[in-house]
Amino acid sequence: MSVANTFQNAHRLHVQSLYKRSLKLSLDWTIQRDLWRQQALHIRAQFEANKHVTNPKELQLLLKNTEKELQEWAHPDPYKLAMGPEGTKWERNLPPLMVSFIKDNSTMNFYPESHH
């Protein structure tokens, strides 16, 4: 694999990551999908407008500015899925632990059912 291909692949993955982060960030600000869709189309148009830039210095400046914009627009309280980590229902009503409690010499030992 040539150096140019390696750079192109790394650059493509970085741009895809920026695009995905931009879409997720816009969802933090607008939860309604019909309104968000308009923002998503605008974000896509911005990325498409710079699709054909090949100058490395110009590419670096575009990537740097995009990272800066993502940091500036970061939501102070980002949206989290209710059942996802740190969501409002995360680990709510967990099933009980399936072990038996055996009292041995005034200490509690935890043994699975099969070790009786």
Q: What are the tens digits of pLDDT across the range 37-74?
A: 999 999 999 999 999 998 989 999 999 999 999 999 99
C-alpha distances in Å from residue 105, one per residue of 85, 114, 116: 40, 21, 16
**Does 110 score more than 80 pLDDT?**
no
**Does 111 score more than 90 pLDDT?**
no
In this structure, what token pair is assigned to residue 107? 């200490």
Q: Write down the H helix ranges in the chain.
A: 3-29, 33-49, 56-72
Greatest CA separation for the chain: 76
Unique residue bearing structure tokens 């189309």: 41
Residues comprising the chain, all counted: 116
Q: What angle do CA 30, 33, 19 make, to 5 degrees?
A: 70
Q: What is the value of pTM for the model shown?
A: 0.67
Q: Over the stretch 20-42, which tens digit does the pLDDT of each residue have?
A: 999 999 999 998 999 999 999 99
